[in-house]
Structure 1
């Protein structure tokens, strides 16, 4: 279990993480989402002892990372896939990590095989592509067979087959009862991978819930309706206070639920061919809920031909 308690990190006058509290439980894949500059990477770095909190704590099974005797056996992490000496081979890199935490040497071959790098285990890491570096980083995270895994943008540089592979890997790790905490900007992928979400903005907690609850909370009450008498129905629904938009051979109705739409149609002798509530996407929910927390914007509408960006992640 990962638990942040009143976690705060300041860099001079800048507050990167602001009194943040959340928990990540075992047996599930928990997504860590937020706009650029929200504090996700800083939070993960504090969890791994790479940055010290200004105040508060983030604990791994009740302990801070520095107090873990053999940390790789408790928590495995992928934060920066390029953090490897370029002249070392993949096998040599894993070997020194294994020795530092008294992990048996046979485990090196097991994780190399698990991530598909056996054939290049003896090659210099400096010649690896980003996708291969990601796989080596994941092998490093798996090396100690840890109970807790943290992945920061693990699908960067992976092809579609690699993305499917890491998604299935995370599901399998969670099914084994491990704690899996993963950040990503690919919201469509998070929708398929994470069953729980921790969402932050400007260093503060915005939401902690299941993925379905997060999407449902942000989705408008919209219903897709098809009928051979759309114009008659549209007038009746508008008169009843609903908002109606035409989409191809259907209308999208908001401000009225399916039951009331059906009753209105019946009262006006309108035959219905479809009456289906519309489910929003994770991307739509994320944009709606985090809109006020976006720190860095680009606006092409206000300045055509120019990208107005105030910063990077």
Structure 2
């Protein structure tokens, strides 16, 4: 389990992480989401003891990272897959890591096979593609067979087969009872992989919940009617919130589909379509973080 309590990091006048408290539980894949500059990488670095917090704590199974006698046996991580000496072979890179944590050298061959890199074991890391570097980074994270895993953008640079492989692997690791924290900018992938989500923005916690709660919270009722303008006004008067869709449909929140139907019947409004629609994870994420985007495109 990973536990953050009041975790704070300040760089001069800039507050990168602001009083962050949440728990990553075992047996689940927890997606760690936030806009660029939200503080995700800084948070992960503090969990791993690479940055010292200004205040608060980050613990792994009740201990700070520097208190772990053999860290790779407790938490495996991948923050920067290409942070490998370019002249080292894949095998030697993993062997050196294994030796520092008293992990048997036989485990190196096991994880190279697991990530599909047995044939590339003798190749130098400097010649690897981004996808191969990602696989090597995942191998390093799995080297100590740890109960806790922390992966930053693990599918970055992978082809579709590789993405499916990582998704399947992550799900399997969680079903084995491990604690898995994964960050990603790919909302579609998180929707398929994660069981629950932690969303931060500008260093602060925005939401922490099961993934279904995010999409249900952004659910709307889709309405198509030739009297869209007048019916939208009537819906607003009844307490609903109405947005106009890209094709002229009404997207109604704050009112159920049966209530919308009853109102249309009472007003004599013809309906061509009336359907509840759960928001996609991307839509829910954009709605949650719209006020927490540090670097946004001009509109």
Q: By how many angstroms is 1:244 displaced? A: 7.8
Q: By how many angstroms is 1:36 displaced? A: 0.8
Query: Hey, what does 1:175 align to over in structure 2?
Result: 175
Look up the SS of the partner of 2:62 in the other structure: coil
- What do you get for the CA RMSD once the two structures are aligned? 2.3
CA distance in 1, matches of 2:249, 2:13: 53
Query: Hey, what does 2:261 align to over in structure 1?
Result: 262
Query: Hey, what does 1:34 align to over in structure 2?
Result: 34
Query: Hey, what does 1:211 align to over in structure 2?
Result: 211
Structure 1 stretch displaced more, 282-291 or 259-268: 259-268
Query: Hey, what does 1:284 align to over in structure 2?
Result: 283
Say whether the 8 Å CA contact 1:31–1:182 is kept in structure 2.
Answer: yes
Give unpaired runs (5+ residues) of structure 1: 302-313
- When residues 138 and 235 of structure 1 are mapped into structure 2, their CA distance, relative to the original with a 3 A threshold, is same
Look up the SS of the partner of 1:293 in the other structure: coil
1:1-313 matched pairs, under 5 angstroms:
1-217=1-217, 219=218, 222-225=220-223, 230-231=225-226, 239=234, 241=237, 243=242, 245=244, 252-254=251-253, 256-264=255-263, 275-299=274-298, 301=299
Look up the SS of the partner of 2:92 in the other structure: helix
Look up the SS of the partner of 1:81 in the other structure: coil
Q: By how many angstroms is 1:298 displaced? A: 2.3
Q: By how many angstroms is 1:34 displaced? A: 0.8
CA distance in 2, matches of 1:71, 1:96: 14
Structure 1 stretch displaced more, 246-255 or 285-294: 246-255
Q: By how many angstroms is 1:19 displaced? A: 1.1
- When residues 121 and 251 of structure 1 are mapped into structure 2, their CA distance, relative to the original with a 3 A threshold, is same
- When residues 238 and 205 of structure 1 are mapped into structure 2, their CA distance, relative to the original with a 3 A threshold, is closer
Residue deviations 1:104-149 (CA, integer Å, cap 9, x gap): 1111111111111011110001100010000000000000000000
Q: By how many angstroms is 1:13 displaced? A: 1.5
Q: By how many angstroms is 1:212 displaced? A: 1.4
Structure 1 stretch displaced more, 257-266 or 140-149: 257-266
CA distance in 2, matches of 1:26, 1:168: 17
Q: By how many angstroms is 1:207 displaced? A: 1.0
Look up the SS of the partner of 1:213 in the other structure: helix
Q: By how many angstroms is 1:10 displaced? A: 1.3
Number of aligned residues: 295
Q: By how many angstroms is 1:215 displaced? A: 2.5
Q: By how many angstroms is 1:270 displaced? A: 8.1
Say whether the 8 Å CA contact 2:7–2:58 is kept in structure 1.
Answer: yes
Look up the SS of the partner of 1:87 in the other structure: coil
CA distance in 1, matches of 2:250, 2:38: 38
Give unpaired runs (5+ residues) of structure 2: none
- When residues 225 and 201 of structure 1 are mapped into structure 2, their CA distance, relative to the original with a 3 A threshold, is closer
Query: Hey, what does 1:305 align to over in structure 2?
Result: none
Say whether the 8 Å CA contact 2:29–2:182 is kept in structure 1.
Answer: yes
CA distance in 2, matches of 1:156, 1:21: 27
TM-score under structure 1 normalisation? 0.86
Q: By how many angstroms is 1:30 displaced? A: 0.2
CA distance in 1, matches of 2:21, 2:125: 37
Look up the SS of the partner of 1:108 in the other structure: helix
Q: By how many angstroms is 1:268 displaced? A: 7.0
CA distance in 2, matches of 1:40, 1:211: 18
Q: By how many angstroms is 1:223 displaced? A: 1.8
CA distance in 2, matches of 1:246, 1:53: 44
Structure 1 stretch displaced more, 286-295 or 65-74: 286-295
- When residues 87 and 179 of structure 1 are mapped into structure 2, their CA distance, relative to the original with a 3 A threshold, is same
